[in-house]
Amino acid sequence: MPPPGTQHSELHDLLQVSVASITGRNAYVAGTFDTKGAELMFVANALKRLGLQTVTADLSTSGHPSPADISPNEIARHHPKGESAVFTGDRGQSGTAMAEAFALFIRTRTDVGGIVSAGGSGGTAMATPAMRALPIGVPKFMVSTVASGDVSAYVGPSDICMMYSVTDVQGINSISEQVLLNAAHALAGMIGFKRREGQSQPVKPAIGLTMFGVTTLCVQMVQRALQEKYDCLTFHATGTGGQSMEKLADSGLLAGVLDITTTEVADLLFGGVFPATEDRFGAIIRKRMPYVGSCGALDMVNFGAKDTVPTRFLGRNLYVHNALVTLMRTTPAENEAMGRWIADRLNRMNGPVRFLIPMGGVSALDAPGKPFHDPLADKMLFDTIERVFLSANNRKLIRLPHNINDPLFAEALVANFNEIAT
């Protein structure tokens, strides 16, 4: 057994060697230096002791002199309306504008090896949009007083690590010192050991697949057919799942998408609890990547427990999926609206596109004898998509007589993806 402390010393030395070999990748330390300067400098100094080059970025909106490498004014100049939009004198408005400016600023930097910040709700709200703007895989660490609550608004679809600060981020004491040191060491480890020489690299290109419980059979068949050739990443279509998939696409980490389950559009348009954003399909449009899509679970809008369904919908066709999820069948009018919305986005895609329509039903609940079987509602969806869709050499709409979970439909999805991805 090695003497006490030997393993810790060896790991420390290894980390220093690893981070010392990094070139062109800096550790960014961001926050409001007017109120959290001592704490943020503590983190920056800890990173420097580990051999990392650091860049401090000040998100303060008070107008006080800044000790950081990047001043608030330099960041604020990246706001679309200039510095005056950030330094308004109104704390709420200024913080929101600084968050937008910092997200735009960080996109201009080519030296970001990782980023860490520390603060309360205000500092967290200003730093995390920039973290979300960075590609998946770039280390992101946030120490925050709000990390013990619902952090979905801060993390979103990104891979942000959050640590609860335990005490307020106010002064260096016996607790904050340990928490902030842990954060610095964690970021240094993520940066220093990322893709070290000799680490195995993925040998198969990654593709994204969207799935819901009622389209699981289809996605599983597709995955089995493609997994030898592709690294199949499946995303639960719960709003954040679709955003996460498109975040990977925007980051250049996907070679293509099988968007089998587009149900998040229904929740976006009709008030469900798993909504997409208005940018759904945006990454596919921007990246022009191979895309095979379908109408999975567009027969339903998701709500919570049955007693949470809005009163205006209580007369609708509702299905209790479980104690916490209630599904509402979409109507012909709603399907027409969804059809227009989806087809409009498909028409903006200039990469290879195939959109497959399952005329036998869009989910496990939308089949003969099942509670959401409604051929008239489906027909409105399918006809609207076909009417609005603009076919082109690289963009095709394909109707098939099968339910989405039929093996023949899964085979068609695979065949069309193989056709456009080769």
303-349: pLDDT as tens digits: 999 999 999 999 999 999 888 899 999 999 999 999 999 999 999 99
Return the pLDDT at 192. Answer: 83
Domains with residue ranges and CATH for the chain: 21-192 (3.40.50.12020), 206-421 (3.40.50.12030)
Residues 6+ apart with CB under 8 A from 294: 259, 260, 261, 262, 355, 356, 357, 358, 362, 404, 413
Residue 17 has pLDDT above 60, yes or no: no
Return the pLDDT at 193. Answer: 78
Q: How far is CA 315 from CA 16, 151, 322, 374, in A?
A: 65, 34, 19, 16
Residue 149 has pLDDT above 90, yes or no: no
Among residues 418, 262, 419, 270, which one has the least CA distance to residue 345? 262
Q: What percentage of the chain reaches a pLDDT higher than 90?
A: 75
User: Pairing state of beta strands 54-58 and 300-303?
Assistant: unpaired
Return the pLDDT at 323. Answer: 87
Asked whether the whole model's pTM tops 0.75, one would answer no
100-129: pLDDT as tens digits: 999 999 999 999 999 999 988 889 999 999
| Whole-angstrom distance, CA of residue 212 vs CA of residue 216 | 6
| Whole-angstrom distance, CA of residue 282 vs CA of residue 82 | 27
Residues 6+ apart with CB under 8 A from 282: 246
Question: If you average pLDDT over residues 74-100, what whole number do you get?
Answer: 94
Return the pLDDT at 198. Answer: 44
Among residues 165, 164, 167, 160, which one has the least CA distance to residue 140? 160
Provide the pLDDT confidence category of residue 147 given band limits of 50, 70 and 90.
Answer: confident
Residue 24 has pLDDT above 70, yes or no: no
349-369: pLDDT as tens digits: 999 999 999 999 999 999 999
Question: If you average pLDDT over residues 55-76, what whole number do you get?
Answer: 94
